[in-house]
């Protein structure tokens, strides 16, 4: 006992202990047989001749005991007792092995056993659930990818590509008759072809047009209608004039009435400059023209 006191004096306070870890507020013991993990007079396995611990190996708990009789035989110093897997039975085993031992050691052994069984249970539960796999990122690769992505974004010119695609779809006619523009595109395309290839056809057309116009006292109507269509002309361009002329020839009376009624509407509806793309374009007046002029145009084309 004197010997132990000396040992503790040296290890605990004055001299060096290789298992001791000092922090600001506390001292820890790294000895694997230590029962509490703190560096105390009662917890130090080196400074106590009678000592016991519970440790686990591969999921099984063992009780280690050290008695003074074996202090001379370091190889046989610790007696290892395998504890039962059942928690309650293991507690009884501890009690039975450590009977007549100091309360402190018994209590701490049981506490340690409890903690160990709890964490073993948790391990088993976690292994059943899905594990999160951590994949290491290489910083160099990440940086490279980021830069390449930025460059690709610039090269992609997304807005232009989307707009182009949408216009292509419009030209191909995937939108059907929802928008008016396909007709104008058709008109323009036809115009271009006719102008470029043969003048005879143009002459014929003119003749046809002039033929159809003969029904009507044109000039007056043209002027009045044109004044109504001022805004429309600004927006749509030259193709409108032809259309308007044709329209007039075919449906003057109706158009007159409709125009007078919807004069104001036409001006306000789709013809004012659009504020942002959200405003829906309402082209009610135009739709009527579409239906009536389509066949006429087609016949001219052929």
Partner 1 sequence: KPKKGKTKKVKRKVKHDEAPVQEMEQAEGEETEKKSESGPCFPPTFSVSEIKNKQRRHSMFLKLKEEKRKQKLELKKKKKKERKALGDKAPPKEVPKTIENQRIYDETTVNPEDEEVAFDEGTDEFSAYFNRLTNPKVLITTSDRPRGRTVRFCEQLATVIPHAHVYYRRGLALKRVIPQCVSRGFTYLMVINEDRKVPNGLVLCHLPDGPTAHFKVSNVRLRKEMKRRGKDPTEHVPEVILNNFTTRLGHSIGRMFAALFPHDPQFVGRQVATFHNQRDFIFFRFHRYIFKNEKKVGIQELGPRFTLKLRSLQKGTFDSKFGEYEWVHKRHEMDSSRRKFHL
Write out the residues near partner 1 by the rule CB under 8 A. Answer: 129-130, 132, 141, 145-146, 148-149, 151-153, 155-156, 158-159, 161-163, 165-167, 169-171, 175-176, 178-179, 181-182, 184-185, 235-236, 274, 276-281
State the minimum distance, in angstroms, from the CB of residue 174 to partner 1.
Answer: 8
Please, are residues 20 and 38 in contact by the beta-carbon 8 Å criterion?
no
State the minimum distance, in angstroms, from the CB of residue 295 to partner 1.
Answer: 21
Give CA separation, 176 vs 186, 225, 294, in Å: 13, 28, 14
Q: Which is nearer to partner 1, 14 or 280 (CB)?
A: 280
Please, are residues 67 and 128 in contact by the beta-carbon 8 Å criterion?
no
State the minimum distance, in angstroms, from the CB of residue 68 to partner 1.
Answer: 53
Rg of the chain on CA atoms, in Å = 49
Q: Which is nearer to partner 1, 74 or 276 (CB)?
A: 276
Q: Which is nearer to partner 1, 55 or 184 (CB)?
A: 184
Q: Which is nearer to partner 1, 89 or 164 (CB)?
A: 164
Nearest-10 Cα torsion for 133, 138, 144, 147: 60
Q: Which is nearer to partner 1, 142 or 206 (CB)?
A: 142
**Residue 218 in tokens:** 């044109």
Q: Taking the CB of residue 10, how many other CB atoms lie within 10 A of it?
A: 14
CA distance linking residue 290 with residue 180, whole number of Å: 8
Query: SS in 3 state form for 276-300?
Result: CCCCCCCCHHHHHHHHHHHHHHHHH
State the minimum distance, in angstroms, from the CB of residue 232 to partner 1.
Answer: 11
Q: Which is nearer to partner 1, 184 or 265 (CB)?
A: 184
Looking only at Cα atoms, what is the longest distance across the chain?
A: 137
CA distance linking residue 272 with residue 187, whole number of Å: 23
Q: Which is nearer to partner 1, 6 or 162 (CB)?
A: 162
State the minimum distance, in angstroms, from the CB of residue 269 to partner 1.
Answer: 14
CA distance linking residue 90 with residue 87, whole number of Å: 5
Q: Which is nearer to partner 1, 45 or 270 (CB)?
A: 270
Q: Is 237 helix (H, G, I), strand (E, B) or coil?
A: coil
State the minimum distance, in angstroms, from the CB of residue 62 to partner 1.
Answer: 34
Q: Taking the CB of residue 246, how many other CB atoms lie within 10 A of it?
A: 20
State the minimum distance, in angstroms, from the CB of residue 51 to partner 1.
Answer: 43
State the minimum distance, in angstroms, from the CB of residue 279 to partner 1.
Answer: 8
28-31-37 Cα angle (round to 5): 40
């Amino acid at each position: 006992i004197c010997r132990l006191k000396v040992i503790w004096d040296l290890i605990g306070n004055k001299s060096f202990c290789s298992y001791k870890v000092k922090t600001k507020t506390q001292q820890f013991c790294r000895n694997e047989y230590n029962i509490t993990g703190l560096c105390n007079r009662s917890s130090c396995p080196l400074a106590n001749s009678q000592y016991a611990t519970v440790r686990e190996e591969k999921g099984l708990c063992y009780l280690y005991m050290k008695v003074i009789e074996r202090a001379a035989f370091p190889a046989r110093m610790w007696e290892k007792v395998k504890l039962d897997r059942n928690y309650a039975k293991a507690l009884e085993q501890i009690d039975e092995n450590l009977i007549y031992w100091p309360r402190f050691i018994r209590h701490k052994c049981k506490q340690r056993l409890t903690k160990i069984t709890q964490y073993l249970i948790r391990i088993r539960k976690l292994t059943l659930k899905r594990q999160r796999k951590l994949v290491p990122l290489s910083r160099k690769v990440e940086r490279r990818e980021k830069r390449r992505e930025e460059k690709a974004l610039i090269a992609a010119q997304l807005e232009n590509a989307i707009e182009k695609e949408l216009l292509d779809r419009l030209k191909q006619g995937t939108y059907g008759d929802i928008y008016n523009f396909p007709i104008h595109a058709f008109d323009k395309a036809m115009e271009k072809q006719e102008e470029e290839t043969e003048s005879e056809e143009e002459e014929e057309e003119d003749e046809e047009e002039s033929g159809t116009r003969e029904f009507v006292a044109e000039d007056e109507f043209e002027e009045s209608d044109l004044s109504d269509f001022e805004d429309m002309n600004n927006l749509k361009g030259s193709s409108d004039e032809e259309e308007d002329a044709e329209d007039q020839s075919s449906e003057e009376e109706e158009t007159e009435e409709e125009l007078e009624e919807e004069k104001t509407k036409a001006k306000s509806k789709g013809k004012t400059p659009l504020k942002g793309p959200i405003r829906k374009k309402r082209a009610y007046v135009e739709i009527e023209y579409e239906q009536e002029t389509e066949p006429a145009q087609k016949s001219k084309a052929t």
